[in-house]
Structure 1
Amino acid sequence: MSKWFKGAVVALMIAGLAGCGVSTKDIEVETVKSAKANLKGYKTYEIIKESGVDDTLKKDKTLKNVNIDADIKALINTELQKKGKIEVKKNPDFFVAYVAGADMNAMQIKLDKKGRSMIENVPAAAMVLMLVDADTGSIIWLSTAEGDFKGLPLEQQKKRLEYAIRKMLSGL
């Protein structure tokens, strides 16, 4: 998995933690949508079964006994339903695909108070979320989120993830 992709997955997971005093300012979300697609015309969706999170997140100690895939799917469903979209098991108007992951060995150059460069470990997470036209296979919506993987308590991580997904699907 490329570093960019891992970064995008981490960002999404981090982005969900806005509110309740949880900082989300490190979460960066970028979205592109098809100029030709009438997004309001898409009413039903199905989340692609192969969507999911990278094993690096499943191995994280702070996420022990947590079904991250189920949490992400629930958050995506909640946001899409708020927008009037309906989940179906067959014949959807569009498919939802996502992938998320973390790079626990990510390094970053920072300047100290004297202006000297220092390299430090800054674990990062990212998520990529795509909406794909079921008839044509064309991508109609693509959003990425990336941010720091802070090893926060579980509730704060969930809030950051919720923030990221909400931001990724805003404007739909």
Structure 2
Amino acid sequence: MQKFLTLFGVLVFSLLTACSTVSTQDIKVETESDSKVNLAAYHSYVWIGASSVLNDPEEKWQPTEVDLAGDIKYLIDRELRKNNIFGVKDDADLGVAYFLGVDMDAMQLKVNPETETIVLENVPKGALVVALVDMQTGYVVWLGSARADIAKTFQADIARERLDYAISKMFKNLTSKGIFK
């Protein structure tokens, strides 16, 4: 179980890891919310889940001592606090969950610059989805997603910066729409 948790942590951070510089151009963030729900009316939340799926048959990444799951939770907690929604143990308005998927064997068609021919190339991909669930009804009232290319090797500092960017942008999209006040 400890090995799985360590691997899960590595996957979360490596989800958004770039090659050698901190670039966020490839990170695509989208959000959706229920137009009938006033998210400004929510003031408390509780964590209801986290899950991940990894496709890495060649074990290209090695586990590190980084607590990636904890860092993702921290970033989401921070963004909710910025919007006056605070974590509680009981009777929360919202439930928070996230899902991470990483595919180290993802393939993509690319143009070879030397021959100008189209070739199939390995381009590892990752995605992070964050859901806010109304605890009274059980319905998802907000969903944020980020997808990106990821590096074939893990660099903790770059991964942290890219995760911070993606999660901040998810919740910024909400505030820019005036959903949270």
Task: Say whether the fold is shared (TM-score over 0.5).
Answer: yes
Q: Which whole-Å deviations, capped at 9, do the CAs of 1:104-152 have from their partners, x for residues lacking one?
A: 0001110123431011111111111110101011111011110011135
Report the equivalent of 1:72: 72
Distance in 2 of aligned mates of 1:12 and 1:80: 23
Distance in 1 of aligned mates of 2:156 and 2:68: 11
What does residue range 23-172 of structure 1 map to in structure 2 within 5 Å? 23-48=23-48, 50-55=49-54, 61=61, 63-113=63-113, 114-150=115-151, 151-170=153-172, 171-172=174-175
Instruction: Give the aligned residue type for 1:123.
Output: P
Tell me how many residue pairs correspond in the alignment: 158
Deviation at 1:61, TM superposition (A): 3.2
Alpha-carbon RMSD across the aligned residues, in angstroms, is 2.5
Task: Give the TM-score normalised by the residue count of structure 1.
Answer: 0.82
Runs of 4+ aligned residues of structure 1 deviating over 3 Å after TM superposition are: 9-13, 52-57, 59-63
- Report which structure shows greater RCO (CA 8 Å, sep ≥6): 1
Distance in 2 of aligned mates of 1:110 and 1:63: 30
Consecutive unaligned residues in structure 1, runs of 5 or more: 1-8
Consecutive unaligned residues in structure 2, runs of 5 or more: 1-10, 176-181
Distance in 2 of aligned mates of 1:111 and 1:92: 51
Deviation at 1:53, TM superposition (A): 3.2
Deviation at 1:13, TM superposition (A): 3.9
